Each structure stands twice: as C-alpha cells, then as structure tokens.
Structure 1
Amino acid sequence: MTELQSALLLRRQLAELNKNPVEGFSAGLIDDNDLYRWEVLIIGPPDTLYEGGVFKAHLTFPKDYPLRPPKMKFITEIWHPNVDKNGDVFISILHEPGEDKYGYEKPEERWLPIHTVETIMISVISMLADPNGDSPANVDAAKEWREDRNGEFKRKVARCVRKSQETAFE
C-alpha cells in the first residue's frame, strides 16, 4: 500500500461519510491539507451514562493505513475504563494486527485492513455503551465501573457529559 493509495482510501472514506452520515458521530479533517489527521464528534449513545454528551476525539492514521490501525485520542475529558487518563482509546480493533503477545485477544478481534473509519467509530460507540472491564486502560474507572457503577462512576461520567456539552462547539 503506497502513501498515495492510503491517502486516496482516506479521501474516499471521508467523502462517503459526508455523503451518507452515520448516526452517532461526525468526522472531518483537522486541517484540510492533512488527510491523516481527523477530528470526530461522538454523540453519547442513547440509554447509556454518556447519553447527551458530545465528545471530541482525534484519529491519527499511519502512512501505511489500512495495513496498520490509526491511533485515537479523546480531546474532551471522558471517564471510561477503556480510555486512559490522557484520552488514548484502547480497544481491540485499534491494536496492531496479528497475534496478541499476551494471548488475550484473538487475531480477528484486532486490526484488520477491512476496517474503516465507520467500523472504528461504531466500535467506539459500542465501547461507550458496554465497557470492557477485563482489559482496562483506566484502572480507577474500571474499578468504579465494577464496584460503584451507580455511584461514583455515574457521577464522574455525568460531569464529563455536562462539560462536553459546554465545550462541544468551541
């Protein structure tokens, strides 16, 4: 996959998302001259603690995309077991392809070149609705999610949702 092919693929995915938006998120380029850096706005999924939130994140694609996955980082503060305290997202489909050296994930759960921005975002929205507490990036959030979901965890998420609404369109 050449850089040109990679750029063309990203341009095609962006055009497709603009033509046929997918419910739950919107995507665009951070800088019109850089196809490898995207900004996404994720709407907190209905019937979850994140409902009503508007969370901004960045996707940074490698030059050999789709052979390797992009990195995803929330810019908006978010309290979630699978998002570390810096905002980096840790979910299976964003992990490098192939065998998991820890034996936790099957190769087919990890990055595959068939994934698109749409499939990544659907996975992230699903992650918001249903965190994976077995493999946390934020151990404190995972502990609260397991032990005090309707107390401290819920309060912290509610604060992030309110803050996201205040800063969504800055």
Structure 2
Amino acid sequence: MTFQTPIFHPNVYPNGDVCISILHAPANDPYGYESASERWSPVQTPETILLSVISMLSSPNDESPANVEAARLWREDTKEFKKRCRANVRTSLGEE
C-alpha cells in the first residue's frame, strides 16, 4: 500500500509506502520484532487492512519507524510534527 500524495508520518516511508505488520510477508521476523501471526495472512480483507492503516495513522508506532525524522518529531516536538503534516496537506491541495 502506497500513499500517492506526500504524507509525513512515522510509519510511512518518504516514497509513500506504508509500513505496518499485516502487510509484511508471512514469516517470522528475522529481527524478532513481529510474530508471524501479526503479519500477512489470507484472512486479511480490504476492510481489516484499511482499519489497520486508519489505526496506524492516528496512533503511530514510533518504536519501529519507516520515517525516522517523523518519529523523532512525533516524540519530541509535536508542534513541528503537526506543522509538517499541515504543510503536506496544503501542498496536496495545491495551496503551496
């Protein structure tokens, strides 16, 4: 899953790729961070994937970030984090 417009979020890579467990290949995580049961399985539906993404957007996992800068700002400088997010929204709306 990839966002087509810029998004500044701890769990979204700068290229827009979403990083959440249920989209990772089914297997044990070589780093021991995720169990196989948290990763992709055939029981996932578009609804479960979208619910997971919505949850991720509102509650980022800053312990395993795809965007390190966004995770740092999420933890240390909420005001700057929100400023960057608003700037992305304005850009996507063609306001900048």
State the TM-score, normalized to the length of structure 2. Answer: 0.92
Whichever of the two has the greater Rg, that structure is 1
1:156 is aligned to 2:84: yes
Alignment of 1:52-67 (within 5 A): none
Following superposition, the deviation at residue 161 of structure 1 comes to 2.4
Following superposition, the deviation at residue 159 of structure 1 comes to 1.4
Which consecutive segments of 4 or more residues in structure 1 shift more than 2 A?
Answer: 161-164
Residues of 2 paired with 1:161 and 1:109: CA distance? 31
1:106 is aligned to 2:27: no
Q: Which has the higher contact order (CA 8 A, sep 6+)?
A: 2
Residues of 1 paired with 2:10 and 2:44: CA distance? 23
Task: Specify the alignment match of 1:90 in structure 2.
Answer: 19
Residues of 2 paired with 1:161 and 1:125: CA distance? 17
Unaligned runs of 5+ in 2: none
Q: Which amino acid aligns with 2:77?
A: D
Q: Which amino acid aligns with 2:87?
A: R
- If each structure's helix is expressed as a fraction of its own residues, which one has the higher value? 2
Task: Specify the alignment match of 1:146 in structure 2.
Answer: 75
Residues of 1 paired with 2:42 and 2:30: CA distance? 20
- If each structure's strand is expressed as a fraction of its own residues, which one has the higher value? 1
Q: Which amino acid aligns with 2:55?
A: S
Q: State, as a whole percentage, how many aligned pairs show the same letter.
A: 60
User: Out of 33, 46, 51, which is 1:122 matched to?
Assistant: 51
Following superposition, the deviation at residue 98 of structure 1 comes to 1.7
Residues of 1 paired with 2:37 and 2:91: CA distance? 36
CA RMSD of aligned residues (A): 1.1
Residues of 2 paired with 1:79 and 1:138: CA distance? 8
Following superposition, the deviation at residue 76 of structure 1 comes to 0.8
Listed one character per residue, the Cα deviations across residues 130-168 of structure 1 (whole Å, up to 9, x for unaligned) are 00000000001001011001x11010011122333x26x
Residues of 2 paired with 1:101 and 1:155: CA distance? 36
State the TM-score, normalized to the length of structure 1. Answer: 0.53
Q: Which amino acid aligns with 1:129?
A: S
Residues of 2 paired with 1:148 and 1:161: CA distance? 19
Q: Which amino acid aligns with 2:44?
A: H
Unaligned runs of 5+ in 1: 1-71
